[in-house]
């Protein structure tokens, strides 16, 4: 029997991620900057070329730019790092256009020198609809000299990296290697305009592994907990809390949403999208907490004030 879940949704929250823990005291740092014009920018730090996230490594900067549509940039993020230790940095940007979404990922490594400050910024490349890669790059500058940092190496981002074209957040989950998230969504029909509360009906199913196969691969020490988050983008994101739920092998995922979701006290109206995210978290047999996104969907619609 298929599972039925109906919820009242008011805001959207980004899926959880393994987090980079900076050293308590360091004379060396990285200043992360958003890609020009991007709507969402993430940078993650790993200690290995495979982009595995050991304890203390993961998402270092997650910047949402609600003003990108007006040509303004988001705030920089300054992160302390350990000097003399090679770092692998994965980056991913998303640019929301009125008719489509552009996204690109890059992966780079270098060794920061003691006492130096570095500026790291992803530079967008040409966008090709449907492409899984782009010709953009990451610029690593020594702030004191304004020159490119020395011995910077560029790599293809692994599929489990937060900078990949498929992952939605830094993740230490064991995935099937296909480059696709484990859970996929299907919307048989979707309202073209949302004003007052509209009921959204989605179906979900596990993609290449079944739920039981996915869980067996994780080597969890206990229960794997699953969460959903839902929200909207219309000029700016509206955020909501992460909710724990019981996921099935396949099922229906139904919820209600309206345009009255703006987190600054007003209606977010105009062309936008409804956002759905499934994630999970568990403690592994290795003693490390693992978490990441397992399914994500973005559906275009138009929001209007509920009482127009």
Q: Tell me, yes or no, if the pTM score tops 0.85.
A: no
Distance CA 155, CA 58 (A): 17
Check the CA dihedral 40-46-50-53 and report its sign: negative
Contact in structure between 172 and 50 (CB atoms under 8 Å): no
Distance CA 308, CA 288 (A): 51
Residue 284, CB-side half-sphere exposure with 13 Å CA sphere: 16
Distance CA 45, CA 234 (A): 30
Please state, as a whole number, how many other Cβ atoms lie within 10 Å of the Cβ of residue 280. 25
Distance CA 92, CA 69 (A): 18
Q: 183 is written with which tokens?
A: 């859970």
Helix (H) or strand (E) holding 201: strand 198-206
Q: 127 is written with which tokens?
A: 């966008």
Contact in structure between 62 and 42 (CB atoms under 8 Å): yes
φ, ψ of residue 31 to 5 degrees: the values are -105, 110
Contact in structure between 254 and 298 (CB atoms under 8 Å): no
What confidence score (pLDDT) does residue 252 get?
94
Closest CA to 78 of 37, 33, 46: 33
Residue-by-residue pLDDT tens, the chain, 308 positions = 444 443 333 333 333 347 889 988 899 999 999 877 666 788 999 887 767 667 788 889 988 764 443 334 457 899 999 999 999 998 888 776 555 566 777 888 899 999 999 999 887 765 555 444 455 678 899 999 888 888 888 776 665 564 333 333 334 688 777 767 899 998 878 888 888 778 889 999 999 999 999 999 998 999 999 999 887 777 666 656 789 999 999 999 998 887 765 444 445 678 887 888 898 999 888 888 888 778 888 788 888 877 66
């Amino acid at each position: 029997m298929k599972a039925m879940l109906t919820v009242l949704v008011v805001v959207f929250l980004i899926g959880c991620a393994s987090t980079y823990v900076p050293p308590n005291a360091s004379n060396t740092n990285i200043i992360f900057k958003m890609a020009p014009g991007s709507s969402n920018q993430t940078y993650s730090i790993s200690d290995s070329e495979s982009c595995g996230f050991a304890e203390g490594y993961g998402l270092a900067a997650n910047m949402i730019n609600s003003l990108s549509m007006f040509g303004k940039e988001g705030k920089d993020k300054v992160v302390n790092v350990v000097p003399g230790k090679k770092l692998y940095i994965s980056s991913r940007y998303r640019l929301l256009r009125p008719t489509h979404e552009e996204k690109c990922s890059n992966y780079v490594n270098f060794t920061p020198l003691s006492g130096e400050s570095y500026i790291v910024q992803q530079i967008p490349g040409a966008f090709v609809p449907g492409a899984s890669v782009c010709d953009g790059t990451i610029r690593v500058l020594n702030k004191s000299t304004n020159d490119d940092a020395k011995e910077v190496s560029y790599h293809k981002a692994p599929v489990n990296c937060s900078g990949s074209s498929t992952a939605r957040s830094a993740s230490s989950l064991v995935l099937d290697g296909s480059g696709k998230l484990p859970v996929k969504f299907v919307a048989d029909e979707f309202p073209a305009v949302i004003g007052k509360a509209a009921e959204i009906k989605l179906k979900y199913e596990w993609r290449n592994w079944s739920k039981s196969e996915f869980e067996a691969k994780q080597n969890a020490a206990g229960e794997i907990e699953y969460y959903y988050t839902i929200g909207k983008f219309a000029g700016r994101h509206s955020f909501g809390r992460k909710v724990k739920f019981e996921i099935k092998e396949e099922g229906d995922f139904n919820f209600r949403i309206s345009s009255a979701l703006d987190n600054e006290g007003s209606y977010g109206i105009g062309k936008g999208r409804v956002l759905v995210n499934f994630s999970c978290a568990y403690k592994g047999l290795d003693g490390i907490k693992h978490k990441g996104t397992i399914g994500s969907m973005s559906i275009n619609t138009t929001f209007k004030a509920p009482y127009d």
